[in-house]
Amino acid sequence: MLGRKERDQLELYMCGSLRDLVPNDHVLVKVDRVLDLSWLHEEVAELYTAGFGRPGIDPEVAVRLMLAGFLLGIVHDRRLMREAQVNIAIRWFIGFGLHEALPDHSSLTRIRQRWGAERFRTIFERTVKVCIAAKVAKGEAVHVDASLIRADVSWESLAVRHIDAVTDANEAAESERKAAKQANTRKSASLILTRRWLLTGAIDGWNRHTSNMPS
């Protein structure tokens, strides 16, 4: 009998954990077994104002996201969050359920800016060293700058290259966004001036017309 799967059915609920859907040999599962970020909040606490403003993205979530980006070869924050939106393994790794809205990609940029380049590099390299010590990446491969590289070559150097690639890619994207915004602002200002000139000309023309009319 020819089978047919209905694809428009809504999921009403889900029993169990997302972990049940992620294979045991997935690299994020291997990393999660050895990853301990209990030190992270104390490391960055001085950079936040206690009890003031809205709670920001959890630092551990940010590091886990960027670590997933490293392992999966994703350097652009926007692309990383798009992947996390549909990737069950990443959602589980960062502690977000299917029903939860993910942070905006700009949150990762703000995190790096708040921490500063040196502190971020130190935190990320310390996190990667845990993976090296546990040998969870042996045999894995990662992408850096569009190049496929064996991760057991030198994770330390790969981590440094990834940090540089992330910084360069997202700074370039931010520069392009600002340039496009400025171009749109100039275009809008030009349109406003053009409309004002046309309106002024129409008013002047009407005034000349009415002044020449016989009383």
Listed by start position, the domains of the chain span: 18-176
Specify whether the CB–CB gap between 125 and 160 falls below 8 A: yes
Q: Kindly tell me if the per-residue pLDDT of 137 is higher than 60.
A: no
| Per-residue pLDDT band at 2 (split at 50, 70, 90) | low
If you average pLDDT over every residue of the chain, what do you get? 76
Q: Determine the pLDDT at residue 64.
A: 94
Compute the distance between CA of residue 203 and CA of residue 40 in angstroms, rounded to an integer. Answer: 66
Average pLDDT over residues 193-205: 64
Greater confidence (152 vs 104) lies with 104
Compute the distance between CA of residue 208 and CA of residue 142 in angstroms, rounded to an integer. Answer: 74
The DSSP H or E segment spanning 149 is strand 147-150
Compute the distance between CA of residue 79 and CA of residue 157 in angstroms, rounded to an integer. Answer: 23
Q: Kindly tell me if the per-residue pLDDT of 92 is higher than 50.
A: yes
| Per-residue pLDDT band at 37 (split at 50, 70, 90) | very high
Print burial letters for 112-133: b (CB count within 10 Å at least 16), e (below 16). beebeeeebbebbeebbeebbe
Q: Determine the pLDDT at residue 70.
A: 85
Q: Determine the pLDDT at residue 146.
A: 43
Average pLDDT over residues 189-213: 62
59-75 pLDDT, tens digit per residue, is 999 999 989 988 888 88
* Residue 161, strand partner residues: none
| pTM of the complete model | 0.67
Where do the H-state alpha helices sit in the chain? Answer: 27-34, 40-44, 59-72, 77-86, 88-94, 106-115, 117-134, 155-211
Q: Determine the pLDDT at residue 149.
A: 43
Greater confidence (202 vs 117) lies with 117
- Beta-strand relationship, 141-144 and 147-150: antiparallel
Q: Determine the pLDDT at residue 204.
A: 60
Dihedral angle, C-alpha 183, 184, 190, 196, nearest 10 °: -160
